[in-house]
Chains A and B, each alone.
Chain A
């Protein structure tokens, strides 16, 4: 999240917005965002269906009470203006890769090569 916040002005220049997704409630997320002075929203998905939809479930502990997988893994997804997934990466986000891709997307949408 810190890295995204640092590079936010670059994302904005490339017409991209940033979202964090977690399973915490909105109030916890609000305090978390304040503690890091984040300028982008963190959305909360307590039921966890976003992780199923985007394949972001982690296979590591902590597990749910019945031993099921119930935490998000770290995963970064880039969605273009037309709603198509253009990038998927597990693990901590690699901002350089994301910025390179966003530059490509922006050039595509302006009809440049």
Chain B
């Protein structure tokens, strides 16, 4: 019985974990991926919606920064 279980682990469980693990790696955004869309409130008192405001119209430069009143 233990031998059979070992066989199961090496032949089935390990490959599944490897594939899942690789999937985790792919989740990281890369150049060439489709950009995740968003709708968020802005400092100008409006909702900013990616598909409504930018898609098909403008290129978008987006800068993430840690907090307001910090230099970027």
Contacts and interface: CB of A to CB of B under 8 A. Distances in A.
Interface of A: 1-4, 11, 14-24, 26, 28-33, 35, 38, 41-45, 50-51, 53-56, 58, 71-88, 92-93, 98, 102, 105-106
A18 B40 contact: no
A72 B40 contact: no
Given A15-B58, A85-B33, A88-B29, A24 B64 contact: no
A85 B42 CA distance: 22
A84 B40 contact: no
Interface string B53-70: 111111111111111110
15 contacts: A4-B63, A18-B61, A24-B68, A26-B42, A26-B43, A41-B42, A43-B41, A43-B42, A55-B28, A72-B67, A73-B64, A77-B29, A79-B54, A82-B56, A83-B55
Contacts of B55: 81, 83
Point out which of B34, B43, B66, B72 has the most chain A C-beta atoms below 10 A from its C-beta: B43
Contacts of B54: 17, 79, 81
B70 to A, nearest CB: 9
Given A16-B58, A19-B62, A72-B64, A41 B33 contact: no
Nearest to A86: B31
Given A43-B41, A54-B29, A19 B63 contact: yes
A80 B65 CA distance: 21
